[in-house]
Amino acid sequence: MLYTVRGLRGDARGVFIRVRVVSKGEVRTVTTKDGAEHRVVDVYVGDRTGGITLSLWDEQTEQVVDGDLIDIENGYVNRFRGRLRLNVGKYGRFEQVEEEDFPSRDELLTRRRWKRNR
């Protein structure tokens, strides 16, 4: 099933979605509960229906830039600090794609109705 940002729920698994990278944050290093260090970045992505934060880890952190259009396959959604968050996870993947009809980064930024998925 092809999801939209508006259609995402906190327990969604096996998510296939096409989103545009609106803004990529700074890559930071975190230590997980098992003591391992990882690089992580928050990437704000969206489509015609809304926006959501996408978490990318380790080598994924360098694979997107602002404006990229990406397909996420087998992703999942969880809540972090009360907000929905989209994840690729270790069983998912993403790739850059082209689609002429998909809104550009600038179009997404100027949409009045475009809001963060909560």
Task: Tell the CATH superfamily of the 2-110 domain.
Answer: Nucleic acid-binding proteins (2.40.50.140)
Bridge partner list, 48: none
- As a whole number, mean pLDDT of residues 103-115 equals 78
- As a whole number, mean pLDDT of residues 73-77 equals 96
What CA–CA distances, in Å, run from 55 to 29, 48, 100, 107, 113?
13, 20, 26, 23, 23
Q: Tell me the percentage of the chain whose pLDDT exceeds 90.
A: 84
Q: What are the structural domain ranges in the chain?
A: 2-110
- Give the pLDDT confidence score for residue 89 in this predicted structure: 84
Average pLDDT of the residues of the chain? 91
